[in-house]
Structure 1
């Protein structure tokens, strides 16, 4: 055992170094978010005591609570919409063989390679022509449409790996195709759906480019856009403690989600790779 441990030591050294660097960096940012600007620049973090006002001022003066709620609405609605659209499409592509299914699957895969900046102007022109700009529903629709290709590609492997016996048993019990999909297949594919939802949550929560184009006003602004505005304003006033506090408010939700569901992500990817 000792010999084996010595053999694995070179592999653990870079990992330990990276972990130590991450912990120190993350810890420094947390302490800086609770310090004054003077403490930050004199390298005496918390020298003036814990400054919870850095956080309270964000919600009282910068209205960060509104933007936080907007981001929650965008993220929850988008994640639900992506699953509602991608799951049935992936089920058909993964379970039913029909003429042209390979071409359709290839189209979804190809859509993943289209850069967002390439379709941003056509999308903006389309929504302006339809008079759908300036609302939360517009950005939710964009998030759903731009993330469905990956959702279909990701879930197709899960549905194709489910044994046909599940549907045959459901048919014997009197379930039609739709009922069997909802009652039998979806629960079995739960690990894949949860993993996809986690990926979408992390992506939508931190998304900036589409939000800058379609939600750049007070009522629809996301947390990522609010962070940019706060950083710019606080940089001019020299409130760097507030800048670090704003960064933590944006970062912590996605970090907490990943912390609690990282095992589900690994398990979901492993299960889906059997036939995906």
Structure 2
């Protein structure tokens, strides 16, 4: 009886996982093959495979909709934001976990509290702050906003790594005359690379897909990010018929995230596993 229940339980889990896999993979495949459809294909049946390959959809998405410019805007914002997040969160997490000073516990708790506050709640205060700092409609302003928003989660993840790292290496380096800064960047930072990779991937996906803040801060068409441009394209489709260009734009927007995942998936899984084990 026990073995039968175990066998049934395993197949139920497999069935649930299979349904979840289909729910995730099918929309992705549907988006990809829809990006090659003609307008006639969409009107005939949007769920069928394309009758012929329409490469002009990608030309329309990249050139006519100025998707190319927004693509590089997103790359610029994502790279700078994630670089700032990695530098600031890693050093902050290290200081909070290694050094005892007045207010350290309070700062750490405030950081953790911000994890439970939806970013949309900060939309209006952020907009007003950017206006006061004269950073509205500037990609540099969006970089600072994204960097500030990514710090709490990144500090939380890295603090778990630093708490359980062996201190013997840094202690030996300090005894040999190495400065605290040099010890951190030459010894601690490389050792914590699994955690660095995790926060890097998670933040670059978050920044790449973020829409509300980018929409609020950026107003010029030439400064729009990919997420904003995608929404603009979908809005245009209410009055136009170029659905192929919309799906082509979606595929182009997904490509960087998919490439990053396939390149770093092993390191991401290893980093998450190490964090779970150490935490």
TM above 0.5, yes or no, is: yes
Matching residue of 1:98: 101
**Aligned-residue offset at 1:216:** 2.5
The 1-side partners of 2:195 and 2:181 are apart by: 19
Q: 1:126 to 1:61 in 2, by over 3 A?
A: same
Matching residue of 1:46: 50
Structure 2: 5+ residue runs without aligned partners? none
Matching residue of 2:71: 68
Matching residue of 1:248: 251
For the residue of structure 1 that corresponds to 2:53, the secondary structure is coil
The number of residues matched between the two structures is: 274
RMSD: 2.0
TM-score by length of 1: 0.92
CA contact (8 A) 1:161 1:274 kept: no
**Alignment partner for residue 157 of structure 2, among 154, 157, 162?**
154
**Alignment partner for residue 30 of structure 1, among 29, 32, 48?**
32
Matching residue of 2:207: 204
**Aligned-residue offset at 1:117:** 2.9
- Out of 110-119 and 63-72, give the one that drifted further: 110-119
1:33-78 Cα offsets, whole Å, 9 max, x none, are 101122123234321x100100011112111110000000010000
The 2-side partners of 1:144 and 1:29 are apart by: 31
Matching residue of 2:115: 112
TM-score by length of 2: 0.91
**Aligned-residue offset at 1:190:** 0.3
- Out of 201-210 and 11-20, give the one that drifted further: 11-20
For the residue of structure 1 that corresponds to 2:37, the secondary structure is coil
1:86 and 2:89 matched: yes
Structure 1: 5+ residue runs without aligned partners? none
CA contact (8 A) 2:62 2:249 kept: no
The 2-side partners of 1:23 and 1:152 are apart by: 32
1:16 and 2:11 matched: no
